[in-house]
Structure 1
């Protein structure tokens, strides 16, 4: 895998989703906005990585994950009251573990993948976002400041971000009622990103 593969995936799905429309209502509008934000974070992570700004790209992974999770929750789980409160700018106490629990009671997420993802990566995502030890240790070697260790983690961040982009796309296609497009994009993802060595 190289950065061109990740760029190819990003360009492919952007081309396929460009200009799509959907029957608007509050639920779809909120969910679509959050899923689109998650995809924008994916593209930002890729663009930052292309500029060797991996520390900043790492910081966006949690943002991408939470935008995806909230988008799926608003689409599949939120009550009409929750959606109205959100649209009206009122506070909703959206705790990550509660969102995951609710989403994992819906079709397509019952396998526990979101909980496993969060359990395995949450500490790292927080460290990246809040300038924790990883961000510091990756930049210093003895008495030297360097970003070279960040390059070693580039494949990881691009792979993780691409996985999250696929999940956003699947519910994106559900909103626009395009199951064939969902299948096409899933197939392309596995051809480009999850291909066998």
Structure 2
């Protein structure tokens, strides 16, 4: 799964090379959020390759949160929201972002949030989900099992592909859109494995 994930990341980054973004807030900020998803995805791969699983797992929530914010800012943000974000004052409750997206698109975002959010928070904020994987018997060591590592990689692969699709759509670049379709076809099993 690690090599698969790395190749996906390389394919995404190759397809995005040279794409430019309009500087208007309605495009720029969603693009920035989705670019974070793509970078966090690559970071998770690099950290897993170096067996730094605690650090990798702490980024999973960041992947999900950036994806949701990218979608929300593309669909619902007002000028006031953009100004608040620019000044680091945007503080709308995350569940409200998720609910707005779910109510409009019926895309399963709310169910995903309800399923994942407690564990994602625990992994990011040094909770039990994180700490329990730092001990093996009486020894303090990384103790992430292969199944969890595979799930983490599949999760980040999935959201990297989704964010990649969003960025390509926003770009309006026909070559990038064609490359996106090829990549989605190549990695379509990622969606069925999450």
TM-score (norm 2): 0.88
SS of structure 2 residue aligned to 1:92: coil
Structure 1 stretches (4+) deviating beyond 6 angstroms?
Answer: none
Structure 1 residue 157: Cα displacement: 0.5
| Residues 138-162 of structure 1 deviation map (CA, whole Å, 9 limit, x = unaligned) | 2223322232434442101100111
Q: Which structure's residues are more often helix, by fraction? A: 2
| Distance verdict in 2 for CA 1:23–1:137, change over 3 Å | closer
How many residues are aligned here? 190
In the alignment, does 2:137 pair up with 1:138? no
Q: 2:164 aligns with which of 163, 169, 182?
A: 169
Q: Which runs of 5+ in 1 are unaligned?
A: none
Instruction: Give 2:46's aligned residue.
Output: 47
TM-score (norm 1): 0.87
| Residues 14-36 of structure 1 deviation map (CA, whole Å, 9 limit, x = unaligned) | 10111111333111111111111
SS of structure 1 residue aligned to 2:89: coil
Q: Which runs of 5+ in 2 are unaligned?
A: none
Deviates more, 1:172-181 or 1:45-54: 172-181
In the alignment, does 2:60 pair up with 1:64? no
Alpha-carbon RMSD: 2.0
| Residues 63-100 of structure 1 deviation map (CA, whole Å, 9 limit, x = unaligned) | 1111111111111111122223323x051222111111
Q: 1:155 aligns with which of 150, 154, 157?
A: 150
Listed as ranges, the matches of 1:107-118 within 5 Å are 109-111=105-107, 113-118=108-113
| Residues 37-81 of structure 1 deviation map (CA, whole Å, 9 limit, x = unaligned) | 121111111110110011111100111111111111111111122
